[in-house]
Amino acid sequence: MARIKTDKNISRKDVIVTKAAALFREKGFKAASMRDLAEAVGVEAASLYNHIKSKTELLHELCFSVANRFMHKIDEIEAEPISSIQKVEKLLRFHIEEMINHYEEVYVSDREWKHLADPYLSNFQNQRRIYRKRFAAIIETGIRNKEIKKIDAPTAVLIMLHAISGIESWHRSTQKISAEELEENMITILVGGLVNR
Amino acid sequence: MARIKTDKNISRKDVIVTKAAALFREKGFKAASMRDLAEAVGVEAASLYNHIKSKTELLHELCFSVANRFMHKIDEIEAEPISSIQKVEKLLRFHIEEMINHYEEVYVSDREWKHLADPYLSNFQNQRRIYRKRFAAIIETGIRNKEIKKIDAPTAVLIMLHAISGIESWHRSTQKISAEELEENMITILVGGLVNR
DNA sequence: AAGTGTTGCTAACATTCGTTAGTTGTTTTA
DNA sequence: TAAAACAACTAACGAATGTTAGCAACACTT
């Protein structure tokens, strides 16, 4: 009986969650079966249930761990004594780096949250809405300070967030520019589109 | 026996394809069942098969009709005697309007193409890759002409296209700005991020 | 009105799915 | 080393899925 290998401080559940992220990213939550996941983990499907409660639990874990990271970051940035445009840039860089370094989780959280079941679904949607409002509020402050162009802030947020989710294509592309170049290019275009001059 | 209602020039198959677009958009291709679709159409599931060959055929139809529209448009725009930045703007406006007016189809084509089966899958991916290269080529010309900032063109394309797919959120939001405002805001930010000044 | 193709229905199929029960083997604890 | 806890296995379940077969009702042509 081949057990799931674990290093210290990594539970078997963590291994499963990580493999699930990769699988859900590749196939989509609905199309990925527990048997697929079991194979990826190196175990029979039924064995997974010694470590997790259900398939949807895996999605919860992924979605909320990502959401929490972003929530903490915006808490942090809001409190800093810097200009609005600097706050926007910091937040964007965080998004970009998260997308680069935790691709699978972030991607899944972004695209597959629809398959959450209530009450998790409403909860997640709420957090998302609040996050976007806080992001928009930063932009609106910037507009009032004349740091940022007169634009519709929610639209700007929507553009930023979705633009970043496009890093998906970068991950898949064969001739990648470096992560640093990618980040600088994105910041140039996105922040360049906002600043008032 | 309630028949599928059709106006002149709209086949029953078209009705099904349209309903399928809405359903696939809402639930995702895998999660949307043929029984769901049948209910939306007002008919039993088996009856659908008098008009279509399979569930995936519906996805083919949706994905390729959208892809073809974009291909024709880029053909048209490439041939026009206008500046690169104007070409980019025209293409972006087309994308935005398609996303506003044919939301469900475009969204499904964008997010659910993974579930196509070969040879359609490879075909679609090819078209997509070619389209992006042509878009990038327009931007690169603009960079050489110094109309556009020195940036990585593929990254710019990726940002533009994904940013536009964010119109999804606009559609769902309750307090919408008008479609015209949305378009102008998006152009301001996206083109503003490109132009050299 | 008869005939013909179209479009709907019911019933059922083979698969696949997430998950549970019960058991066996392995590791950790005492 | 025996006991307890953990983690794997096989087998199977009920539900849902895409799809087919066979038949009945409708609509249009002549």
Residue range A59-76: mean pLDDT, rounded: 97
Strand partners of residue A148: A195
- Nucleotides in C strand less than 7 A from protein CB: 6-12, 16-22, 25-27
Q: How far does the CA of B3 sit from the C1' of D30, in Å? A: 25
Task: Tell me which chain A residues have a C-beta less than 8 angstroms from the C-beta of B100.
Answer: none
Strand partners of residue B148: B195
| A165 inside 8 A of chain B by CB | yes
| DSSP three-state, residue A195 | strand
| Residues 36-95 of chain B in contact with strand C via CB under 7 angstroms | 43-47, 50-51
pLDDT band for position B3 (50/70/90)? confident
Side-chain half-sphere exposure of A80, counting CA atoms within 13 A: 16
Asked if residues A17 and A61 have their Cβ atoms less than 8 Å apart, the reply is: yes
Closest CA to A34 of A18, A46, A50, A21: A46
Burial class of residue B28 (count of CB atoms within 10 Å of its CB; 0-12, 13-18, 19+):
buried
For residue B158, give the nearest of A159, A169, A181 by CB distance: A169
Q: How far does the CA of B46 sit from the C1' of D19, in Å? A: 8
| DSSP three-state, residue B148 | strand
Rounded to an integer, what distance in angstroms lies between the CA atom of residue B86 and that of residue B78?
A: 11
Residue range B44-102, pLDDT digits in tens: 999 999 999 999 999 999 999 999 999 999 999 999 999 999 999 999 999 999 999 99
Residue range A143-190, pLDDT digits in tens: 999 999 999 999 999 999 999 999 999 998 887 899 999 999 999 889
Q: Tell me, what amino acid is at A154?
A: P
